[in-house]
Amino acid sequence: MDTIVALSAGLLVAGGVYLLHAPNLMRLIFGLMLLGNAANLVLLAGGRFFGAVPPLIAEGETLVAGDPANALPQALALTAIVISFGILAFAIILVLRSYQFLGTADADAMRLAEPDTAWESPGESPGESPGESPGESR
Amino acid sequence: MTDILLLAPVGLPLLTAIVAVFLRHAPHWQRRLNLAGSLALTVAAAALFAAVMDDAVLSSQMGGWPAPFGITLVADGLSAIMVLVAAVMGLLIAIYALADIDDTLLRRGFVVYYQILVGGVCGAFLTGDLFNLYVWFETTLIASFGLLVLGGTREQLDAGVKYVVVNVAATLLLLISIGMLYGLTGTLNLADLSRTVADIDNDGLLNLISVLFIVAFGIKAALFPFFFWLPASYHTPATAVTAIFGALLTKLGVYALIRLFTLVLTHDPAFTNTVLLVLALLTMVTGVLGAAAQNDVNRILSFHIISQIGYMILGLALYAPLAVAGAIIYTVHNILAKTNLFLIAGILRRHAGSLELHRLGGFYQARPALAVAFLISALSLAGLPPLSGFWAKLIVVQAGMDAQAYAAAGIALAVGFLTLFSMTKIWIGAFWTPAPPDAEPVTPPSRAGAWALQAPVWVLVACIVLAGFTAETLFGLSLEAGRALMDPSTYIATVLPPGA
């Protein structure tokens, strides 16, 4: 079990990092998803896999009968899953919005906030003055 | 009583945020609510600070579960100082936001995100549990996402994508490092971790985990070589948002590094501190050189955040009570000076419509008082006596001399000179040169708006000057906090009472 989990976590990290290097924004999001799942596996593996009995103590007993599962990492992973669900939902909408407004999903083409023309002659930077414009309708 | 003291700085902003959700169609009331919430937080933070000054370390177990099983809130000297500074910044920037944030942004939920951000930062400063620290980081992160893209302009979306991807990757790395540390120790309570790690005889794995933590928090703190997201995003949102980001977000990463590497991962200081030292020096140098190449005031200031983070981590890496005290003073000083520079830049942008140096000019004539405020903050940032920055830099350099890290001390001084160069560049470009001929006519904000923009600037100038003249008090506080960090026995005994 440990070996399988370790291998899958490693595979997920490798895939995630590979996708994070892609210029396409949607692939970046997929990369983050894979990385998130790897993190959850690492959390679970941190609690070891040694039992399958629910960690509940029967009435009248003082110990759990049999080998209890470690409940804490499960709770941690659940928290992390919920958080990453929210964040990824936001990230996907953000990518969709920037595709609609900027007309590209290519991270290398997105230079509005960091124009190349920092040292060039005045008046050549493509963007309007940052921050102040009211923004497109929502 | 202790429970309420520790809970209030976290609970009040979150409560304010919830009320703000219901008031989102009433911008007028939202402004008042933001101010009231921030004021309440400042009072709570001051009360906590006073209590910690009396009583070294306070701790409280949430839900009555004893540590290390429950979630612990702890306030020691460092936490109390940071919470107080964060609350004061929250209040000052809330005042600035009265005029800076328009009704559209308020309807989109500015106050909600703002309060969650401040509450999340306070939560991270006060938690005594590693996984809880991760949760507070995520809270802050989500709020900062919202604030960053609130205007919905193209620059903000562009910046938002980079900011989101890099920061989410960083939190996932943090989660992986937490999982590995938990796997090694079986606990997540910081005080308990401190005891457990000392007994673990696996320095190789601990070093690996340390490096993972340095990368994860290093991205948050914008350390070299993980800083690229910061100058790509910080200049795009409204000034109040940039100011609160600059004041609190990177400092959160610095705080987490200080906490972790003085309390928990102290197994092999020779290794971890060398890594931190090298990163700190490279951060200082690249930040200040990056700033020299910029022509936009906000981008120059963003690069200076990075270079200043280097000083704070340098203090941590030198790893002595004096050095850690220096890191704390530096953090406080930097929050004051850098926030003020962003606020002043925001006023300039209101007048000139841009922050590119070639479009600015003539402000020394047009706004002499503002010019003085800028000069004081900029000179403090560069470390000229008798302002707050001088003492902060002096202590870090002194600690470097004590540790016989002469090269580090020399670089710290040289970076100070280069900071002065960048500040002079802004000064000449925005204040001394005459306004460019094609400049739009100056449109000052309304009378009522003007005071809201200027009051925080002058309060911060007063703080910077006062911190310079009462350096002895500030130094005493920080040295005490630094000593407590280097010898965490009181911290551990308070969280895990012996015999309990």
**DSSP character string of A35-62:** HHHHHHHHHHHHT-----B-S-PPTT-S
Q: How far A97 CA sits from the closest chain B CA (Å)? A: 8
Tokens describing residue B405: 């890290």
Q: How far B41 CA sits from the closest chain A CA (Å)? A: 26
Name the residue ranges covered by the structural domains of chain B.
1-266, 268-469
Q: Which residues of A touch B355 (CB under 8 A)?
A: 130
List of E strands, chain A: none
**Cross-chain residue pair A136–B152, CB shorter than 8 Å:** yes
Instruction: For residues B168-189, give the mean pLDDT.
Output: 92
Number of Cβ within 10 Å of residue B366's Cβ equals 15
**Which of A8, A43, A117 best probes binding to B when mutated, by most B CB atoms within 10 angstroms?**
A43
What DSSP character marks residue B385?
T
Q: How far A138 CA sits from the closest chain B CA (Å)? A: 8
Of the candidates A43, A46, A112, the beta carbon closest to that of B154 is on A112
Of the candidates A25, A87, A122, the beta carbon closest to that of B358 is on A122
Poorest-pLDDT segment among A64-68, B81-85, B236-240, B313-317 = A64-68
Tokens describing residue B303: 């690069």
All structural domains of chain A: 2-50+69-105 (1.10.287.3510)
pLDDT score, position B443: 58
Nearest Cα residue in chain A from B105: A134
pLDDT score, position B201: 86
**Cross-chain residue pair B154–A127, CB shorter than 8 Å:** yes
Q: Which residues of B touch A102 (CB under 8 A)?
A: 154, 157-158
Residues B464-478 pLDDT 10s = 999 889 888 889 999
Q: How confident is the model at residue B45 (pLDDT cuts 50, 70, 90)?
A: very high
Number of Cβ within 10 Å of residue A1's Cβ equals 9
Please check whether residue A91 touches B, CB under 8 A.
Answer: yes
With beta carbons less than 8 A apart as the criterion, state whether B226 and B232 touch: no
With beta carbons less than 8 A apart as the criterion, state whether B185 and B195 touch: no
Poorest-pLDDT segment among B59-63, B217-221, B245-249, B448-452 = B448-452
**Cross-chain residue pair B158–A112, CB shorter than 8 Å:** yes
B441 sits in the region (left: phi over 0; alpha: psi -120 to 50; else beta) called: beta
**Cross-chain residue pair B141–A87, CB shorter than 8 Å:** yes
- Report the Cα B411 to chain-centroid distance in Å: 23
pLDDT score, position A132: 38
**Which of B102, B154, B180 best probes binding to A when mutated, by most A CB atoms within 10 angstroms?**
B154
Nearest Cα residue in chain A from B141: A87
What share of chain B has pLDDT > 70, as a percent? 97
Task: For tokens 């705080």, name the residue.
Answer: B255
Among B300, B380, B298, smallest CA distance to B334 is for B380
What is chain A's pLDDT, residue by residue, as a tens digit (138 residues)?
888 999 999 999 999 999 999 888 889 999 999 999 999 999 998 888 877 788 888 888 888 877 888 888 889 999 999 999 999 999 999 999 888 888 877 777 777 777 765 444 444 344 444 443 343 333
Please check whether residue A22 touches B, CB under 8 A.
Answer: no
Q: Is B26 exposed, middle or buried (0-12, 13-18, 19+ CB in 10 A)?
A: middle
SS3 B469: helix
With beta carbons less than 8 A apart as the criterion, state whether B221 and B254 touch: yes
Among B282, B270, B283, B264, smallest CA distance to B213 is for B264
Torsion sign, CA atoms B386, B286, B355, B88: negative
Nearest Cα residue in chain B from A132: B238
Cα(B299)–Cα(B231) distance, rounded to whole angstroms?
Answer: 6
* pLDDT of residue B253 exceeding 70: yes
| Long-range pairs for A96-103: beta carbons < 8 A, 24 or more residues apart | A97/B149, A97/B152, A97/B157, A98/A25, A98/B157, A98/B158, A98/B160, A98/B161, A99/A25, A101/A136, A101/B154, A101/B157, A102/B154, A102/B157, A102/B158
Task: For tokens 């006023």, name the residue.
Answer: B347
Nearest Cα residue in chain A from B299: A114
**Which of A29, A98, A120 best probes binding to B when mutated, by most B CB atoms within 10 angstroms?**
A98
**Enclosing H/E stretch for B414:** helix B406-426
Of the candidates A84, A122, A131, the beta carbon closest to that of B238 is on A131
pLDDT score, position B449: 73
SS3 B66: coil
Q: Which residues of B touch A138 (CB under 8 A)?
A: 108, 152
Please check whether residue A54 touches B, CB under 8 A.
Answer: no
Poorest-pLDDT segment among A114-118, B308-312, B339-343 = A114-118
Instruction: For residues B376-380, give the mean pLDDT.
Output: 92
**Enclosing H/E stretch for B472:** helix B471-486
> Side chain identity at B262, as an amino acid letter?
T
Among B331, B156, B177, B179, smallest CA distance to B248 is for B331
**Cross-chain residue pair A118–B354, CB shorter than 8 Å:** no
Cα(B475)–Cα(B92) distance, rounded to whole angstroms?
Answer: 24
Of the candidates B157, B236, B295, the beta carbon closest to that of A131 is on B236
**Cross-chain residue pair B153–A90, CB shorter than 8 Å:** no
**Which of A84, A104, A111, A114 best probes binding to B when mutated, by most B CB atoms within 10 angstroms?**
A114
Cα(B294)–Cα(A114) distance, rounded to whole angstroms?
Answer: 11
**Which of B134, B141, B163, B176 best probes binding to A when mutated, by most A CB atoms within 10 angstroms?**
B176
pLDDT averaged over chain B?
Answer: 90
Nearest Cα residue in chain A from B155: A113
Tokens describing residue B364: 């020394």
SS3 B127: strand
**Cross-chain residue pair A98–B169, CB shorter than 8 Å:** no
Cα(B246)–Cα(A115) distance, rounded to whole angstroms?
Answer: 21
Task: For tokens 């965490």, name the residue.
Answer: B488
What does the angle CA B210 – CA B167 – CA A86 come to, to the nearest 5 degrees? Answer: 115
**Cross-chain residue pair A39–B172, CB shorter than 8 Å:** yes
Cα(B230)–Cα(B345) distance, rounded to whole angstroms?
Answer: 17
